[in-house]
Amino acid sequence: MSSHHQNPRALLTPAMRGVLDRIERAGHVPMHALTPAQARLAYEAGAGVLDIPPHKLARVEDLSLPTRDGHTLRARLYAPASEQALPVLLYFHGGGFTVGNIATHEPLCRHLAHLAHCAVVSVDYRLAPEAPFPTAVHDAWDSLVWLRGNAAALKLDGSKIAVGGDSAGGTLAAVTAIGARDAGWPLALQLLFYPGTGGHQDTPSHKTFAQGFLLEEAHITYFFGHYLRGPQDRDDWRFAPLNGVDDSGQVRDLDGVAPAWIGLAECDPLTDEGVQYADRLRLAGVPVDLEIYAGVVHGFIQFGRAIPSALTAHNDAARALRQAFGDH
């Protein structure tokens, strides 16, 4: 693994290094120095700067999803024109469980819907610190329950549902896939862009890429500090599906969970735990397609204007979705 590299910045592609240099020169206040409310505004303001223009689609609808505690979540459906009921990707955005929303991930979700010729339902799950762990986990699950029950009314194929997400959203997708296995609900795919899966920020890549690679160790600590109720939550499988445990102290087995497509960034603190999660899935007999994009950092899939491999990753993910849905 490159995570033991002597000069990790040398791993970056020239385009990626250029983007990081421009961000550094802009001199924004680091996110971990902001309040969560300020951090959300800053993240939203920056989200579209390097992203691709939003793809035009035949169908975009705002949805309301009820949750177990009486709250209503906003969600948005994106879909290309289709005579048939479309398969659907239930998508959870990234942002450390603290920032991000439907709008910050709209170009990505629109592009995946277009490329994979499927519907995408993007969910505004509740954020920390106002809604601490495990609220986001419950919201993710409740959105799957709702989607299964309402697919036909939305002209979607409820027998072809995938879950996906990036970063913290990838964590939620992985955990939702385990829950679906437990419930006996077959999912077509779990689509995970650089998911967080480990509980303790203790792999070599966390040290190698701790500073200077966009997602810094200080940001991760900031996000988790807002999201987790206390140190014990780090060892809960619903936060750390790689090595967290259930109420009986057992690591969750992964036998029979949905096939996985996992796309990682090489220069990312989360790379090692992503590889380790892919390994655990494979050991459990789950089909895994693992792509590691060289020389890019966490968050790169939203830098399509500047980073060519962002679009490669979109296309790879869409191909995995089409195959999982049976190339209709």
What amino acid positions are annotated as catalytic residues? Answer: 167, 268, 298
Report d(CA 60, CA 19) in Å as an integer.
31
| DSSP class of 82 | -
Report d(CA 294, CA 58) in Å as an integer.
34
Question: What count of residues does the chain have?
Answer: 328
Q: Is 211 exposed, middle or buried (0-12, 13-18, 19+ CB in 10 A)?
A: exposed
Report d(CA 90, CA 147) in Å as an integer.
8
Distance of alpha carbon 170 from the chain centroid: 3
Taking alpha carbons only, the member of 231, 141, 210 closest to residue 178 is 141
The residues, ordered by sequence, that sit 6+ positions from 323 with a Cβ below 8 Å of its Cβ are none
> Quick check: 275 and 303 in contact, CB under 8 A?
no
One DSSP character per residue, 9-76 reads GGGS-HHHHHHHHHHHHHTPPPGGGS-HHHHHHHHHHHHTSSSPPPPP-SEEEEEEEE-TTS-EEEEE
Beta-carbon neighbour count of residue 109 at 10 Å?
25
Q: How far is CA 240 from CA 54, 60, 224, 226, in A?
A: 32, 33, 12, 16
> Quick check: 204 and 4 in contact, CB under 8 A?
yes
Give the CB-side neighbour count of residue 67, counting CA atoms within 13 A: 18
